[in-house]
Amino acid sequence: MKIDLDDYDIPKSAKFYKLQKGLSKELMKKCIKEISKEKLGNFLNYEYRKYIFTTNGNSAKISSACFKIKSKPTFIKGNKISEIKHGFIIFVEFEKYLAVLKKNCPDPSGYLKEYLDIFTSRELSSYINQSDNLCCEKLSVNGMSIGEYDILRKSYEAHDLMGTLPTFNSHRLIPRTAKFSENDNNYSISVNTSRITEHSEKGDIENIIDWCIDFKTRVESNTVSPFMEQFSSSIKLIDLPKNILPTAVLINISRLMENIGNNLELNFKSKPISNTRKNRLIKQGKKFFEVKGSVKNRYQLLGDFFELIKNSKTFSLRCAALSEYSVFDNNKNTSMTLMSFLNLKGCFDITFSDLSYFYTGKRLYRDSNMIQNVKYIAGIYEGVDSFQRALTEKGEKFITKKSVDFPVHSLFYRVQKYYKKSSNIIICDDLGSQEWADHFIFNKVKSGAPRVALVHSKAKPKESNGASEMQEVVGQAIKNLGKVYLSDSNIASKRKLWTKGYSPSIRTPKGQPKPPSIISNISRVRGEYDNFEHLKKNIVDIMSSPNCQREVVLAVNFVRKSKIEQLIHKAEAKKLTSHENQLLWLMSSFVSSCIEVGVRPKVLCRP
């Protein structure tokens, strides 16, 4: 049975490319032959660069193929059963662009890579038609960081994200997919793959051509969406300044495993991998690898065994240690090395010596609005004079059974003194089996400004403004963000801890006996309350108040506000060091995490 072009009734979902040079008839024949090499029998449809004219006066060259393929059901082990599926591919050439529509067949972009160029995210966002009724309903993004406490991917959904999405740190987000609604038209844009999908009725080949011409008109209008402009934008790898170098690589193992599914199988030495070895591989893959050295465009991650290679358009990885791992395709009965598969899918991220650049999904992105972020971060720091006299975190070695307060040279003492006049209740939650903060600070409802603040403290013997010193306290704060909303049962679970005196935990050198534990007379709860039930009622009232203000505070004695403010001028002059970039990166994660849950971030430090 033969199928004509007029018989196609397909969704408007295509990947769009810019043509670097023309596609010949011979090239398209070879491409379709390669794509359909697993077909059964003859082609059902077979066209090469056929001119098609629509009733709307548009035209394009069409190359197409439809064929049968044998496939293995994903829910059956082995090769006992196979099923017959139909696949198709349609190439639409319109002026200097190419659209590819397909189903049940390989992606041809690898075969045609010398002829194709991808759209930047800025160019692709011109497809969005700026109308009064335009709204963004769904958005999925990647972060521009790979730290232990960073969220790598996020998804948002609302009636209209254009008015509800928090804008702080949005320039540190990379849009992956977005769904828009304009008038009666709904469509999705996959920025990282240059795919556009119209959520409408299927169309014949003339409808597809008219849609492609509409794409050309929109993209060439060069009208960038203000909503999409707030995010990081993709750039060509050739535009990466020569003095900006890769610093670390993260293999996105979860993304890799997502791609190895259905008819694909992970093998070791040409046999299905054992669960033990697979789990070990996943565990090792979650680490990020720092660049140790470089020779021209080759960057060593683990000596000569693991390298990052800069090519003309993309980066790739080479790892001799993984040469015995492969991905087997049960349908095609073919395999490729795990590293080849990883490079093909782009399942790794790269950070650079300049925080403004980030590589993910085989694309390079640049954040052009970082200076505003630096100013905001510097603004959350507050200098506290007394923190200069804080020499230890808790001063535990000086606490005895008779102690009624923390030592005056401790950061805990300085934090409690700082909040004493401006709060009604101060609770020390340190050393609890489920420690949520070092201190809870409460202002009662009757004060007119109900408030809860979670304070996480960290002290160091020397001043430092680096990221490594802040990483632990930031991680603790982000992990416990949800505790700015305490429930009745949360508070009840703290009765035993909060109603007894503070018991210090003193660390001793290895091999030396640990001193016996003591319970001091330092009250964990200070302020206006009668008993625990009265305390609980006050906290519940604060939590349930619609006017309650919530803060998460980092209290540190080793950072100077004046040093942080200097980062603004250094960022404007583009003279930030790698350590300063890492600090801003870390603090940016802290601030954005707070803002997303409606919490005010704050840092108390030396002036």
C-alpha torsion 538→540→545→548, nearest 10: 80
The three state secondary structure string of 74-102 is CCCCCCCCCEEEEEEEEEEEECCEEEEEE
- Residue 606: which of 573, 557, 548, 555 has the closest Cα? 557
Q: Does the pLDDT value for residue 132 go beyond 90?
A: no
Task: Report CA-CA distances (Å) from 70 to 66, 77, 101, 108, 225.
Answer: 14, 16, 20, 19, 44
Place of tokens 């439809």: 66
pTM of the predicted model over 0.95:
no
pLDDT at residue 513 in the model: 62
Band of the pLDDT at 509, cuts 50, 70, 90? low
Residue 504 has pLDDT above 80, yes or no: yes
428-483 per-position pLDDT tens digit:
999 755 789 999 999 998 888 899 999 999 999 999 888 888 988 999 999 999 99
- Ramachandran area for residue 259 (φ above 0: left; ψ -120 to 50: alpha; else beta): alpha
Element at 278 (helix H, strand E): helix 275-285
Say whether pLDDT at 577 is over 70. Answer: yes
Spatial distance between the Cα atoms of 472 and 477, rounded to a whole number of angstroms: 9
- Distance in angstroms (rounded) separating the CA atoms of residues 534 and 556: 32
What does the mean pLDDT of the chain come to? 89
Alpha carbon of residue 229 to chain centroid = 18
Taking residues 292-299, report their average pLDDT: 91
Angle subtended by helix axes 370-379 and 561-572, to nearest 10: 170
* pLDDT (average), residues 152-175: 85
Question: What gap in Å lies between CA 444 and CA 425, rounded to an integer?
Answer: 8
Q: Where are the alpha helices (DSSP H) in 363-503?
A: 370-379, 411-420, 467-479, 488-492, 495-498
CA–CA distance, 427 with 441 (Å, rounded to integer): 7
Per-residue pLDDT, 376 = 86
| Residue percentage of the chain with pLDDT more than 90 | 57
